[in-house]
Amino acid sequence: MKKPRAFDHRGVVEGFFGVPWSLKQREALFELGAPRGMNTYIYAPKDDPYHRKYWRRSYPRPAWQKLSRLITRAQKSRIEFVYGFHPGEGLCFSEERPVRILLDKAQRFYDAGVKTFAVLFDDIPSRLARSKDRASFNGSLAAAEALWVNRIIAAQPSTWIDVQWWLCPSYYSEDSLLERVFGRFEPHFLDILARHLDGRVACFWTGPRVVCREISLTHIRRIARTIKHPLLLWDNYPVNDLSMSDELHIGPLHGRDPRLPEYVRGYFNNPLLQAELSLIPLATCFDYAAEPARYDPEKSWVEIVRERFGYRALPYWRAIRRFCETKQTTKTRGKRRLSAASSDLAQLRAAVAYIRANRRKRWAREISPWLQAMQQSSEAEENADNPRTPTSRHRISNVRAKPIGG
């Protein structure tokens, strides 16, 4: 019997807008992920200035020492460290110097053992801004991005061995959100990219949306046949940056077809800004990536909650998850609130007490903005049903829970 396929590259792309994770938080990620099949980590935090805004500059010594330790830690965990360059803003594609700058900077990483690099053109204007570039590439951003990566490959040192280059094109999803934010893309962007790009370069794609509820085999098969290059899936779950900053995605991964490895070489999740809480949903993502055909979302989620917080904490985390999912549904549907059953309300109050009892733990500090929202929600629900009863603020203050796990 043929063994179900798994993704060749499995792991995390730290690619969000916001405060980058610390060295200790990334080490905790490796500790959790490696036993679950994580084998790749892509370093690409948007707010690391030397990754994006000042990508031409070398890392100062203190910052480089931290990155060097992270690379070593990844290698010890048998996790491939991929460094991402984000050179798109203000780049003149037709100049030679930026290629040399990138390779000089990459040499330091290569010497530290990094063999895979990603060139990321996500979230930049959809058209070439410079007249020189428009003339050089016939007005095509897709051709400019492809040919620029080709020049990097052609110019890399001959002494480099087994180096891979990955590319995130500016058009990385069919979501209309991209054009609303960055402008209209040229027609047939992916076809033009595929025609010009070195065939060895793998390409990132996020799916039918920037943030997807579902990613189907039908969709991925069509994209793979269009792009004609190894495909890497940048899955924006459970990330909560920018407009999602008031959301907390701690439930299991859902809606990813188990047959995606037939067309996708690498599968990477963009995590929450809250590193400790992120480990809950990321564990389910790792379980999916390692064995898509056997992945059970609820079973995976229960196992990670029990592992990190103990079996007695499971009801509290169910209530926290239910609150976060309901809050997101309310936001999406534009309603003021969704009524909760009395049993749910009691569980929510118990969850509030549980978080308070563990307030000195890292995950409890991360969840503090939602703790206030949970308390306010429980008050609103109870007061709406019982306008003459004492406020639930008083009732919640009398609920006690002992610290459990975590």
CA 159 – CA 145 distance, rounded (Å): 25
Instruction: Give the DSSP letter of residue 361.
Output: S
Burial of 220 (0-12, 13-18, 19+ CB in 10 A): buried
H-helix segments, 77-159: 97-111, 131-136, 141-155
Question: What pLDDT does residue 15 have?
Answer: 98
User: In the chain, how many H helices and how many E strands?
Assistant: 15, 8
Whole-angstrom Cα distance, residue 279 to residue 300? 12
The residues spanned by each domain of the chain are 9-305, 311-397
pLDDT string in tens for the chain (406-residue length)? 355 689 999 999 999 999 999 999 999 999 999 999 999 999 999 999 999 999 999 999 999 999 999 999 999 999 999 999 999 989 999 999 999 999 999 999 999 999 999 999 999 999 999 999 999 999 999 999 999 999 999 999 999 999 999 999 999 999 999 999 999 999 999 999 999 999 999 999 999 999 999 999 999 999 999 999 999 999 999 999 999 999 999 999 999 999 999 999 999 999 999 999 999 999 999 999 999 999 999 999 999 999 999 999 999 999 999 999 998 887 776 655 545 555 688 999 999 999 999 999 999 999 999 999 999 887 766 665 565 554 444 343 444 444 444 4
User: Beta strands 266-269 and 9-14: pairing type?
Assistant: parallel
CA angle 149, 152, 153 (to 5 degrees): 90
Count CB-CB contacts under 10 A for residue 309: 20
CATH fold of the domain at 9-305: TIM Barrel (3.20.20)
Token look-up 């409890």 returns 364
Q: Which of 19, 14, 69 is nearest to 44 (CA)?
A: 14
Q: How many CA atoms lie within 13 A of 15 on its CB side?
A: 29
Query: Residue 168 and residue 124: Cα distance in Å, rounded?
Result: 11
Both tokens of residue 219?
A: 């969709």
Distance CA 405, CA 169 (A): 43
pLDDT for position 379:
77
Which residues fall within 8 angstroms of residue 259, CB to CB, at 6 or more apart?
5, 217, 292, 293
β-pair type (164-168, 202-205): parallel
Give this prediction's pTM.
Answer: 0.92
